[in-house]
Structure 1
């Protein structure tokens, strides 16, 4: 069973107010998700004819996944509550964590404690999350009128940067290029490139994998190499932080250093991974991958 094989989702921070993050995400799920949807917000009794719950624990049925769009300060208790409930996947959209300094790092440490205690998997925080047209999952909090979603296809993108995820989505949509998944994982306190490669290796909807990589977490290099070796699908990587200045820029986004570029370059070459030299070239490879499908 894959990470995204979910039959029910709770939107924590759901809102009836147009333009709010919790409103956009709720409408995304209402449009495409075939499972059960539970808005969670103590300020509402009902949103769009759906019963709205004051908390995750007040939902009587099982919840497979939660999307968290509330202030950073309350996120740890939300994850603890979800863990007790038996939720298997949480997408934390909220910002205000390690990317802002020590105060945010302490919040992440609390979340990690609950991840370890309850074995809940987490994407984020500080991310756009998941777009999976096959599963009807869409946590990207940009209105679909402003940013049309790509059709179903066989190309996946994984990225720390939400901005890159949005640019990729826009490019694919306006050029009628289909995607299997776009996953933006932000500060990656749990799920990262290694986890996503493991997921995409077995994903029958994915034939090509595109990665925007700022840097691997310490100690994950060997695992990355091992999983990449076993993937019989083209992998294209755009590596951030190729220069000292770029390294600082990548670090400022997610508080993770981008690492020594020469090491990454050698690893990519040895694994047969295609490295794009620029975002423009990255998009050229995307067009090539889409043509190979025709």
Structure 2
């Protein structure tokens, strides 16, 4: 397949500043600094032959991907192709839906999280989740929100104030709320609430952070701050982000997986470094999608 031209891939961001009208390939080439680095934090998270159903409806077919520690992976594709369902299988949130079923394996440090006897609560502590809509606990203060996961999981720590500051700093929120820690989380702006939810996830020291369109409801400035937070977090964990914004995928991710359903169950059409996906994809369908020919 011939390499896509800049004209084919150029797209202006609708969510955050993108540095002018650079092509997606240019953006990805400037960003992807972690791709190919050895995984230094264990064997990470792996999906092996994952299928998912809602009742009799087959929604995901044979998905296999690796998510190494120290990297950001973006999942892209049209609405309804199974991206959000897939990341929910990674920390067993898929099973919250009564009719849901799954086949295949999800391995965390080489152990299948779906094996009988596995403590689901511990899996969800290790594989955290940030949703599309910020969901801080409205009746809790900022401080209580950040530390709530520890309390619910009965995890004891020696210095809660130190952990509180650390999590808020890593989420890029400390300087904005350090004098407001006893105010309710709902008093923050939408972008601040999303970063508060990230800080809450970080308090329990996850290995992986899943993010389901975390910026879709945010203004450009808040989106940019979330993206900066994602890049910072990826230094110590694996981040998996579902996004419909091609510029965002190019800006923040090291690897990208392209999903498509074609009227049937969602499939992984192609997975590669983000630079490859946006400059020289192997599949024609991937090229058509990232160049805006459909989707």
TM-score, structure 2 as length reference: 0.30
